[in-house]
Structure 1
Amino acid sequence: LIVFSPHSDVLVAPAHDVLEDWALLQWIDEQHAIHEDSIQEFSKAIGTHPAVRRMYRKWVSELVEQDAKAADRMFRTVMDDVELPAYFQDDTLVSILRSSSSAEFLEKHSSELLMNDKQLLRRVIHLLRVACVTTHSRLDKTTAHALLITAPDGPAWVSVLRLVQAHLPSFAQEDRTLLLGLIEDWARGVSWKPPYPEGAESVAAIAHWLLEGFDDYWSDEERKQTLEVIAKIPKADPERFAALLQGGLDDRKEDRLARDFRAIIFEGLEGMPVGRDMPELVVSALNDYLLCSASELQREYGYLSRPTLELLFGIKPQRSFGFFPASAYRGPFLSLLRHHPRQGLDLIISILNHS
């Protein structure tokens, strides 16, 4: 169990990392028993050594799963003591969030998360985005760049998203950027294998709520980021997705949203999900987006001394700018042909015949 250094009899080490972990867990348990009445002294005993802090997080996770009442007391004591080091409070929260019982724990303490203008909930969201992630399944975990592309990990994500959804009206304008970051990080877990990870309905609800606050010209970037999240999960809220894609030409705000959303779907790289899941909607919206009617042609010819290249083919002006550089992955076309070949071919033939 113990390995001695060949160079010195006073240098020893555990024969395996698991033995060190067991020893640290036992030591932390002893320190908790000694300092049970003083969380301040307990935090000082734990200290700041990375290995000890790592095992403290493991110890708290096991406490949540094995003794819910003790975990509740620990949580309240740590969060109520403003003199505790921030890292100790964060380690405690991260341990709870990464626990397999985090969903039940967060639901039980939802009222505390919402107290004091949701200060604790904001902290939980930040820690969730930083600590409750894993290397994306599509990447080789042994490569260095895999650490830069992460996906959400653990049941706490769904609980936090549902809690946020349930209390959306209570969030202020300045919280929208935080919530946008939350749903963007969640959306990293969307792929062809799990096209709708758990929590998709909550994310769709949050995203549509965020759009209401990103309706001015100063929020163009945030609005497009929100629309990109919505584009990844069309069936999470199909009615509002369809209304957004079809737009409302009589309302400037709706028209701006529809314009940006159509550009993302039809010209960008986020068109595949809707092409896979809602082919009828895509075909209808694409025809309206691309093809000039006879009245539109007459109007455009009246404005222009020389028709644009698109008009010569019956395509609405300025529809070719977003397709550079050209790629089969732009728009919903490839997805339509893969998943609904008959409808995809009919669409292409109708566009060519129109031209």
Structure 2
Amino acid sequence: NAEAVRRIVHNLNEPTVPSFMDDFPDPAIILTGDTWWAYATNANGTNIQLASTTKEAFDGRWKRHVGYDVLPSLPAWVRQNRSDVWAPSVVQTSPNNFVMYFSATWDKEPKFHCLGTATSSTPDGIFTPSPEPFACPLDVGGAIDASGFLDPVTKKRFVTYKIDGNSLGSGGTCNNGFWPRKNTPLVLQEVSADGIQKIGNPINLLNREDVDGPSIEAPSIAYINEKYFLFYSSNCFDSGFYDVRFATSSAVAGPYKKGGKLLISPNLGLINPGGAETTIDGKFVTFHAGPPGKRYMYTGRMTFDGDNTVTICTNGGCRSAEADGEELGDVKDEY
């Protein structure tokens, strides 16, 4: 039978090897031609970091473009001496146009972040920022963690992001550890074909519950088997409880049902895995994880058994979780 011919190709729970040994938080990916590109939160003296590899080498070592900044100039609404440019995401809207979504510190009040957009004719930049913010809901805490999504069913474009209620918190873990905790909803904004002009108002997709700790964040949507999968992280990024989870829906605007934990410490030798972004088809994923004080980039591939079970395989092994919330744990399979 099929089970008898499966081959174990991973040493389960061996430490997963990062794409390279350097700080590269919140990695986002795009494939153009035969090249994968990855973008990351500010570090190593740049606003937005860049790495790349060939199409065939996705699971192996990547090249970090040391000292190269794909977004060297920031718009006037960003506090220039403390910009904190976080969690980029890049989409291709036409053969010669790429749009980057990013968050950065609001000039008038550094506790808030707002979302911005930038464009380039090539995936490796340089990206030129738009003068005005894309979203800046200061009354509810600002916005971070934008991710673009092209719905393969309707051909409509969307941006999903986090309302950063943590910035209005009362302290503690991720500034939202004390009661009453603030909401940190994940929202969906429809945009025009250029990826920048907003259509209508944002829609709430998912909100933080007590089990999620102080935050849910880092949303990324994929469409598989006629279902929408919303991947996200819960808890605080350095808490030891940070994770990669998912929720499912039959419509891009929801309602979404929360599923299981796909990655959590110390599975596959990972510490605080999170900040994941997937390709639209859900087959490829990047995320970051420890060691303490660093967030390295890791890659994985995902498979889907119907619309219920998700399996992620890294070079350290595989993990599965179900849409009904059950965690299946380590699995023996190949990808």
Length-normalised TM-score, structure 1: 0.22
Indicate the structure (1 or 2) with the bigger Cα radius of gyration: 1
Larger fraction in helix: 1
Q: Say which structure, 1 or 2, has more relative contact order (CA 8 Å, 6+ apart).
A: 2
Pick the structure with more strand per residue: 2
